[in-house]
Structure 1
Amino acid sequence: MRFKPIPPGEMNAAQRAVHDEAVAGKRGSAPAPLLAWLHSPDMARHAGRLGAFLRFDTSLGAQLSELAILVTARHWSAAYEWYAHKKLALQAGLAPDIIEAINRRHVPDLDDPKAQIVYEVSEALHESRVLPEALYARARALLGERGLVELIGLLGYYTLVSMTLNAYEVGLPEGEVSDLAP
């Protein structure tokens, strides 16, 4: 890892406030990217709050959110993000064969129209950086305006997370091995 996590006892007041807010929130801990962002407490505070909302409180629900997060982690080959969210996706009920297809960069077989649109929007924005009109219209019809805005926000936020984890070479917990396909 390219940054040294700041032990809570060595944090300044601003860093400690952000750290403690994350620990007291729905996550129950300070996630790995937040530990890097603490070197800029204002950024950490804003990003942490946005992340908590996007992770827990959107209209998408856990399964669709985790699907989008896995597509993002796979796009960025963010091993830590994949490791953390694969477990959460399974807990949210995402089928192992869907997860494995995303891992192998194959199109997953999705029966749920909302899951299909989340996958297609995620792929389109990550791969071509645009949302074609027909896809936009289908996404808006299936997810609603709020859901589409939240999906785009989720993809952007987890791009920030993935970039942070990759830039700082955040590895997996000791003893864990990445199953992220090459």
Structure 2
Amino acid sequence: MTITEHPGADDRDWGGRLPRNESLDLDDDQRAAREKLLENAGAWAERSGFAPTDDQGGLIGPFNPFVLRPEPARAFNRWVVADQRGSSLSAPIREVVILTVGIAWQADYEIYAHVAVARSVGLSETVVAGLRGGSTEGFAPDELAAHRFTDELVRTHRVTPETYATAEETFGRDGVLDMVHLVGMYLATSALLNAFEIPAPPIPD
């Protein structure tokens, strides 16, 4: 998946407020981080249907800032990998949580990337469109429980007893813990994207 495969993409400054890593004289640690990101996160992005690089191979989205500060990026990505491997939540439910966070924060690249991931793991177009448009019509009970829990936590910084009880009944204690960890990961990602005004390609229909 390349930038030019997205109708409406242009030659915008994909680094936002940050310099692009390919424009800098990277040190050994940064160069190693770049290669690792291209090998791992880049391959995952390609499989999922979103672009991790521009058409010249420069990293975009959160991947460019990860290169600029490799050590915290490595720690963050270890957290992400641990969650992906050990989460009790199904892949579609994880994407409900991630998209709910990204949409609440209006984090463009997160929404762009995880619409693609959601589609790749089988989340229905009804739910993807509902999350983006603010409707829960047509959601399955577990999708609704995950969305309401996440949306309340992100927007009000608390979860009502009723919403918590539904989430615990639906996903169990481990599932609720996994949701909170996932929310934290993608709040951090959203903050990174928004602080540096990092843009995203258009979302394909």
Under TM normalisation by the shorter chain, which class is it? 0.7 to 0.9
| Alignment correspondent of 1:158 | 186
| Alignment correspondent of 1:88 | 117
| Alignment correspondent of 2:69 | 40
Contact 1:79 1:178 in 2 (8 A): no
Residue type of the partner of 1:5?
R
1:129, distance to aligned residue in structure 2 (A): 0.9
| Alignment correspondent of 1:2 | 17
| 2:26 equivalent among 11, 29, 38 | 11
1:83, distance to aligned residue in structure 2 (A): 1.1
> Under a length normalisation based on structure 1, what TM-score does the superposition of the two structures give?
0.82
> Under a length normalisation based on structure 2, what TM-score does the superposition of the two structures give?
0.74
How many pairs are equivalent? 175
Unaligned runs of 5+ in 1: none
| 2:149 equivalent among 118, 121, 128 | 121
Residue type of the partner of 2:29?
A
Percent of aligned positions that are identical? 23
| Alignment correspondent of 1:58 | 87
Residue type of the partner of 1:123?
D
Post-superposition Cα deviations, 1:38-94, rounded to whole Å, max 9, x if no partner, equal 332221111122123334542212101111111111101112111111111112111
Alignment RMSD (CA, Å) = 2.5
Residues 140-159 of structure 1 mapped to structure 2, 5 A cutoff: 140-159=168-187
Contact 2:61 2:200 in 1 (8 A): no
Distance verdict in 2 for CA 1:56–1:3, change over 3 Å: farther
| Mapped partners of 2:100, 2:71: distance in 1 | 28
